[in-house]
Amino acid sequence: MSFFEVKHLSKSFGGVQAVNDLTFEVNKGEIFSIIGPNGAGKSTVFNCINGLYRPEQGKIVFNDKNLCKLRPDQIAQEGVARTFQNLELFKYMSTLDNILLGRHLKMKAGLLGVLGLNIKNSRAAKEEIKHRRKAEEIIEFLELEASRERPVFSLSYGKQKLVELARALAMEPNLLLLDEPAAGLNNEERQDMVYWIKDIRDEFDITVVIIEHNMQLVKDISDRILAINFGKKIAEGVVQEVMQNSEVKRAYLGEAID
Amino acid sequence: MIGQLIINSIVAGSIYALMALAMSIIYKASEIPNFAQGEMAMVSTYITFVMLHFMGFPFLLALIGTLVFAFILGFLFEFVFIRRAKDPTLLGYIIITLGFQMILYGLAAWKWGSDQRTFNLPFSESKLIYESDAFVLTEHNLASIVIAIIVMSLLYLLLKKTKLGLAMKASQLNSKAARFNGIPTNRIVGISFGISAVVGAVAGILVAPISTLDPGMMWDPLMKGFAAAVLGGLKSLPGVVFGAFLLAIIENLFGFYISLEFKSIVSFAIIIIVLYMKPSGLFEKHYVRKV
């Protein structure tokens, strides 16, 4: 029984078969990349895992549960966090508030906690301190100190991507899905991203699944790679294996003309 | 006389503020201007009336029963009518709320008749608790102000200090991101409708003794509340409250010094002026998009 499994997943939009009978597994503690040309169905796979789309066929098994039967918020509660290709942030909130919102699932204090809010050492106060401390830890880890109080929309694109990553980490997920984490970043930022993603796996013990177009980043970071085209698996394995695969080359470079 | 005008303004402002808050809560959660708000409050007020006069409940029990009823009514309205709409536009939503308003109006007229009834609360609108040359204050006046303050404080605590409030804010700002952070956004919108209906019901109970209890009783408070909300900026709760009191003051001063006949037109004039000058309202934060 592997950590995370996708079995015979199919999803179509009208006549377009976006994902076609796709099966793969991710092991615990892996950094697993999904590559493929534009329109290969990578994001559709993520959206199925997250519950944004309902696949027509197949199962996605995590924690012994079929994620295809759950709502997005329930999937988040199972410990699956994600970032987006086109950022989905709470733009007018500060960096800190965005991260604290990622703690939402872990918060317990309801209306009753409110009444004890000013009492030192009350349950609510202790909880608040705990969440703030965790948020500060993440801010320190991703070096976001300078952006802490600034509204997110005023930050640079690279920083916004980090805030989204920070919010996902705040959920303390077991599985982290990153949709094009390096898109739109400059070289230096991309290097940092590689380093952070590896650290996330090593220090926080989080299994990471990545969709990425930047081959250098994929090579630097991945334990294993899945290549798809037209919604179908064309190769799966360790980096060298997949990069050497003739079908992968053809998908990326086109058919050779004799 | 000016003292009495101020008292009248504060009392009217309290009721407008409750209606405006009710509209604003739903608008913040879903961007829908809910024109069924008034009729939802009216039906809730009838429920209080039935419990007080036909079933002989004590006031407090009738009040609690009404608030529970209002919450369920609001939640079900969202669950049954709003959520079912497929690929809805704003216009579609507005038509749904207008349709629901007509359903409620028709139901109330059929069940309880459209005659105007008197509705009495434990705090009378004719008994004076303070009297001087400057102004008089009735029990109902004082109760309206106190109750409005209590409702506003509870709302503040709920929205600012609880997990539910945080979830509501997150859903409003980016519902997709909220869902992936584990917030059941559909349920949050439903709860917003419920809370809004509760606030509206309180307004209805306060309005009925000073006007009459009949199916059309909430039309005027609704339009005033809507004007106040537009004035303050539909999405800013403190702005909406400020707008309500400002509207009440302008209206009362206009009614006394200029023309009593045209008093109720003031609110519509204000809607038009605000839409011309500052469409997002006096208080709404206006962000300029960075390109």
| Cβ-based contacts of B185 with chain A (< 8 Å) | 73
Rounded-to-integer distance, Cα B125 and Cα B119, Å = 11
State residue B281's pLDDT score. Answer: 76
Interface test mutation site (partner A, options B174, B180, B187, max chain A beta carbons within 10 A): B180
Mean pLDDT to the nearest integer, B221-226: 91
Band the pLDDT of A231: cuts 50, 70, 90: confident
Q: Are B180 and A76 within 8 A, CB to CB?
A: yes
State residue A116's pLDDT score. Answer: 46
- Tell me the three-class secondary structure of B192-256, residue by residue: HHHHHHHHHHHHHHHHHHHCCECCCCCHHHHHHHHHHHHHHCCCCHHHHHHHHHHHHHHHHHHHH
Q: Are B180 and A105 within 8 A, CB to CB?
A: no
The answer to whether B45 and B247 have CB atoms below 8 angstroms apart is: no
The answer to whether A169 and A82 have CB atoms below 8 angstroms apart is: no
- What residue ranges define each of the domains in chain A, with the CATH number in brackets? 4-79+173-253 (3.40.50.300), 90-156 (no CATH)
Asked if A153 is an interface residue toward chain B (Cβ–Cβ < 8 A), one would say: yes
Chain B residues bordering chain A (beta-carbon distance below 8 Å): 157-158, 161-164, 166-167, 170, 173-174, 176-185, 285, 287, 290
State residue A40's pLDDT score. Answer: 82
Residue carrying structure tokens 């329109």:
A39
Band the pLDDT of A258: cuts 50, 70, 90: low
State residue B147's pLDDT score. Answer: 94
State residue B184's pLDDT score. Answer: 87
Nearest to B180 among A50, A91, A107 (CB): A50
For the CA atoms of A146, A150, A152, A154, the dihedral, rounded to the nearest 10 degrees, stands at -90
pLDDT tens by residue, B230-271? 888 888 889 999 999 999 999 988 888 888 888 878 888 888
Mean pLDDT to the nearest integer, A192-219: 89
Interface test mutation site (partner A, options B164, B166, B179, B181, max chain A beta carbons within 10 A): B181
Asked if A91 is an interface residue toward chain B (Cβ–Cβ < 8 A), one would say: yes
| Cβ-based contacts of A111 with chain B (< 8 Å) | 157-158, 162, 164
Tokens standing for residue A40: 């290969």
Q: Which residues of A90-99 are buried (b: 16+ CB within 10 A; e: fewer)?
A: bbebbbbbbb
Tokens standing for residue A185: 């970043």
At a CB cut-off of 8 Å and minimum separation 6, what does A185 contact? A157, A158, A161, A193
pTM above 0.90, yes or no: no
Mean pLDDT to the nearest integer, A166-189: 89
Mean pLDDT to the nearest integer, A80-106: 85
| Cβ-based contacts of B163 with chain A (< 8 Å) | 104, 107-110
Rounded-to-integer distance, Cα B41 and Cα B74, Å = 10
Band the pLDDT of A1: cuts 50, 70, 90: low
State residue A255's pLDDT score. Answer: 63
Which DSSP category does A257 fall into? Answer: P
Mean pLDDT to the nearest integer, A75-88: 88
| Cβ-based contacts of A77 with chain B (< 8 Å) | 182
- Is residue A111's pLDDT more than 50? no
Beta strands A4-13 and A57-62, pairing class: antiparallel
Rounded-to-integer distance, Cα B159 and Cα B142, Å = 26
Q: Is the ipTM of this complex over 0.90?
A: no
| Cβ-based contacts of B181 with chain A (< 8 Å) | 76, 101-102, 104-105, 167, 171
pLDDT tens by residue, B186-212? 889 999 999 999 999 999 999 998 888
The answer to whether A233 and A45 have CB atoms below 8 angstroms apart is: no
Please name which of A223, A225, A152, A214 lies closest in space to residue A185, comparing C-alpha atoms.
A214
State residue B190's pLDDT score. Answer: 93
Band the pLDDT of A112: cuts 50, 70, 90: very low
Query: What are the distances in angstroms from CA A193 to CA A143, A187, A205, A221?
Result: 12, 10, 17, 10
- Domain definitions of chain B by residue range: 2-218
Q: What percent of chain A has pLDDT over 70?
A: 90
